[in-house]
Chains A and B, each alone.
Chain A
């Protein structure tokens, strides 16, 4: 109707949907994550020598370098690894330097400590960096300038290199052709020690120490230590000190019975017995600063408790002696080491308390009780770093950044929990929107009513309302609270109960599974709060999780992984394990009278089977042409409501949409010919409905695609070296209609049912859609795309694309990428009434479309969308390294009051009017009576 057209036109004229300033940081959240921090590469450090406060530097297990403000846990800067980086990440920093140096794979990079900018970068030419140390002293004199880095490389050309601290240029390089396994480098004022593992014939390893001149890199000396009876591989070496504060090599035997120490540079080995009989793990804590006392602590972890011994090294006599031991305490925990001037302090952190001892004596210098937190319930400290503030020779305050066993990285300041970061969420591999049981019951009841006749449905409804009355008293009691909550800003806390009774449906749970086998539920409505989190290992103890996948059902989620057979069923509201027999029966996917066909990629061929079971014979197969291989397929979502089955044209005629629930988009590439093809299949019959083919495609780049309603889109990269006239990133959008002619329903006519398996003879062959497509140039590569979802599909859709280059998520309005935009001419009045604008080959991503605004959403693997309780609004959640959630209203929030609506003013107006009426009513009454009497 023309009214609709007018509204559509108005919608085009107003600026495209954007995030409002007052919504930013309220409706959206971003967990900027790092991953689990590594123990040896986490430290407190001043960003520049004159700085008063120090920052917390770390490199995580997935090689993300992150700097966190210890005060509030906010990220100062972060450098995520390129997806091709391999090898373990190293991060070192010299004293009084304004750079930190990292090595990931073959890349050695110096970063500015305060802002994370690259100072210099060097590559190890294909070799993998095994160790990285900072040369603190040279010839006994501390460097004041930029300190040089000593790099140990292996896996290729093996050897030691010295890199200039200012430029990263190689000063000298020592090649080791012995074929030994490079292990570590250690520096002393006069010598650089290169420690490698020399494999003996019997299977053990001998420690080989080569001393090099720091000035020239020439070999000075070499000796081996007899460690082959104990050391089988890297793991048995407890510690290799990097500098004079801990010039140590420490190793243990397989059974953790004997401790052996060697002072680097000498051949003597001191042996100590482990005090406890059964020790699970031995950890050695030594100070990292050059000028601190050479004292160290050996931590013994048993199944139940924790004890430690402190040793002193006499550098003059080259002896190691035990100073004192700390008695075993029950409860798990860890020790950390910190220095103040030359003094060394050891901090013991358990779930109950934090205590500090000096390395000199065993007297406890400080003790703080740790207050529990729901975030850390049931978890214990795994490792940490501490910073001690010493006043008048006594530690007065301590703050420790501790990694807990549940993956939370927390800062404990004098026993108080200052912040926690949910680092276990980094590297999520699968996520799904949880469907809560409560709302589903209502949906079920409504379904029942929908299928009954009017009278019985009415009685059913009345009965339901009578049953609902039991909630009435509670509802009445809640009213004051709710009204107050509406007037005053709402608290951020949310419980499962609130999520279930959320009016607007913004509080929706996302169940996230991480690579490490952690499962967590996040409330997207209350800024990504972790509602519960569990470790899946407790349900499947032997499994080593590769990439668990999550699938949501009513009230529970199903987790599958290649590590174990079958599936785990977890309650989505509590995180508890469900036995298979407790699982409620799911309604069938195919409605009554529909035959179910499932399809899967079998040996590179897309194959359809009858029913859910894997019956050997296929109903159909889609084998791409010779040379092409299928790289992926996208099917229409199960829940994809369509409000209108046609597109209304400007002259009020209708183009009927081709709405086939079985559409699937198959992407294939031909490596040799560098072509990519997109096949639109009907997955019930396997018939090809449409094909697109592109030449000169850079097939190493991703080709994301999505399909929704009656349109699909995909994006690809045309090789820049090709001869094609239009190179770069393309976004192709295609829309399917039943017929090219308006007001025509195509070959199927007005038939209310259709089948592609048995096309009715009366209607000819199976109906093929009329496809209108258009391609656009886009400024950036799209790594993933999806479409917003709303409850009834009335709201126009938005294509949500992930831009990996700028770490952002962009919502492209549907009307911008409409394939029916007129080309080479201005739209006719009737087209303009539809909201079509002239085709422009380039779509710049409008800054207003960026859903992630200022957030830097790194490493997004997938974006999932869900309907909310409001038709206007769709929930969006992105996961990967980071977690990001927001909600979008592509046609604006037309069904909810905005933030600008002044409820107080409205209430005051009502009250004022009421008071006015109270005053005026007697006056009017008197006047009326008087007029009656005067007649």
Chain B
């Protein structure tokens, strides 16, 4: 077959390699690819400094951005959760200074975070976002509660939660017997 005898067309990169790049036409209508900055001439530089001031985003855009950021903040504790869980699992259930410290931070961080919720969301607070931020804050509280839950799970694993009968044994009293019998010679 004639087609079989023909060699395959060379790949594009071979062609690219062999053909030297053509100089960019002076006034090409094709825009530079994003991120490419062609070396500017003096004139151009002058021109750009005059005209290239970006247009500031509108408040709506700003709000969207802030909300996005706020969401990131709200979900951040949940992202730490798997790592923390593995850490907790690895430390075992014995009472040691390390595990006690870890559990302590596990309790401290969420509580402090929830307490400081207004401060941490203050940068994102605008008249436009304030309504929508409530949901974000709720999620933030929830994720922190997840962290706290991990702490509680850990404490339970360590046997420090009074969840069993034995923990309340001290509050249970001995029965009082309505009779008292003694050997005669003890009286």
Contact = CB atoms under 8 A, between A and B. Distances in A.
Q: Are A and B a genuine interacting pair, yes or no? A: yes
Interface of A: 1-3, 5-6, 549, 551, 589-591, 593-600, 608-609, 612, 614, 633, 635, 638, 642, 644-646, 648-649, 651-654, 659-662, 664, 682-685, 742-743, 748, 751-758
B44 to A, nearest CB: 57
A752 B177 contact: no
Nearest to A755: B178
A635 B182 contact: yes
Given A635-B186, A652-B159, A654-B164, 7 more contacts: A549-B185, A595-B179, A599-B181, A608-B181, A684-B180, A742-B165, A755-B177
Given A645-B173, A751-B175, A654 B165 contact: yes
Contacts of A549: 185
B179 A594 contact: yes
A648 to B, nearest CB: 4
Given A599-B181, A753-B176, A638 B166 contact: no
Given A597-B179, A684-B179, A638 B165 contact: no
A608 B187 CA distance: 13
B174 A645 contact: yes
**Top 7 A-B pairs, shortest CB-CB distance:** A2-B159, A684-B179, A683-B181, A600-B184, A652-B164, A590-B180, A597-B181
12 contacts: A1-B166, A591-B180, A593-B178, A594-B176, A598-B182, A645-B172, A654-B165, A684-B177, A742-B165, A751-B175, A752-B176, A754-B176
B158 A595 contact: no
A684 B159 CA distance: 41
B158 A2 contact: yes
B169 A644 contact: yes
A162 B178 CA distance: 71
A594 B177 CA distance: 7
Given A3-B95, A3-B159, A599-B184, A753 B177 contact: yes
Contacts, number: 132
A652 to B, nearest CB: 4
A759 to B, nearest CB: 11
Contacts of B93: 2
B166 A756 contact: no
B35 interface: no
Contact of A596 (B164, B170, B182): B182
A549 B181 CA distance: 21
A633 B181 CA distance: 13
Given A633-B183, A635-B182, A653-B164, A646 B169 contact: yes
A662 B178 CA distance: 11
A598 B175 contact: no
A568 to B, nearest CB: 16
A367 B54 CA distance: 131
A250 to B, nearest CB: 49
A297 to B, nearest CB: 51
Given A600-B183, A600-B185, A635-B183, A654 B178 contact: no
B179 A589 contact: no
Contacts of A649: 166
A684 B179 CA distance: 6
A645 B170 CA distance: 8
A622 B172 CA distance: 34
Contacts of B175: 659, 748, 751-754
B185 to A, nearest CB: 7
Contacts of B95: 3, 6
Nearest to B187: A612
B167 interface: yes
Contacts of B181: 596-599, 608, 662, 664, 682-684
Contacts of A684: 177, 179-181
Contacts of B165: 646, 652-654, 742-743
A698 to B, nearest CB: 27
A659 B174 contact: yes
Nearest to A598: B184
Contacts of A653: 164-166
A471 to B, nearest CB: 35
Interface string B142-172: 0000000000000000111000111101101
A595 B178 contact: yes
Contact of A648 (B94, B166, B173): B166
Contact of A638 (B159, B172, B178, B182): B182
Contacts of B158: 2
A753 B176 CA distance: 4
Contacts of A660: 177
A223 B169 CA distance: 89
Contacts of A589: 180, 182, 186-187
Interface string B91-114: 001110000000000000000000
Contacts of B166: 1, 646, 648-649, 652-654
B20 to A, nearest CB: 72
Nearest to B164: A652
Contacts of A755: 177-179
Contacts of A752: 173, 175-176
Of B177, B183, B184, chain A has the most CB atoms within 10 Å of the CB of B177
B3 to A, nearest CB: 76
Interface string B61-105: 000000000000000000000000000000001110000000000
B176 A662 contact: no
Of B94, B95, B175, B179, chain A has the most CB atoms within 10 Å of the CB of B179
B159 A662 contact: no
Nearest to A758: B178
Contacts of B172: 645-646
A597 B184 CA distance: 9
A649 B166 CA distance: 8
A588 B129 CA distance: 78
B158 to A, nearest CB: 7
Contacts of B173: 645, 752
Contacts of A591: 180
Contacts of A2: 93, 158-160
B181 to A, nearest CB: 4
A25 B181 CA distance: 41
A661 B180 contact: yes
Contact of B179 (A612, A614, A644, A757): A757
A590 B178 CA distance: 9
B155 to A, nearest CB: 11
B169 A648 contact: yes
A652 B179 contact: no
Given A638-B186, A648-B166, A653-B165, A596 B174 contact: no
Contact of B183 (A5, A599, A753, A754): A599
B169 to A, nearest CB: 5
Contacts of B186: 551, 589, 635, 638
Nearest to B167: A1
Contacts of B187: 589, 598, 612
A653 B182 CA distance: 33
A596 B183 CA distance: 11
A638 B176 CA distance: 15
B12 to A, nearest CB: 68
Nearest to B94: A6
A388 B39 CA distance: 133
A748 B177 CA distance: 12
Contacts of A594: 176-180
A608 B182 CA distance: 9
Contacts of B159: 1-3, 5, 652
Contacts of B182: 589, 596-599, 635, 638, 683
Nearest to B163: A652
Nearest to B157: A2
Contacts of A683: 181-182
A306 to B, nearest CB: 45
A5 B93 CA distance: 13
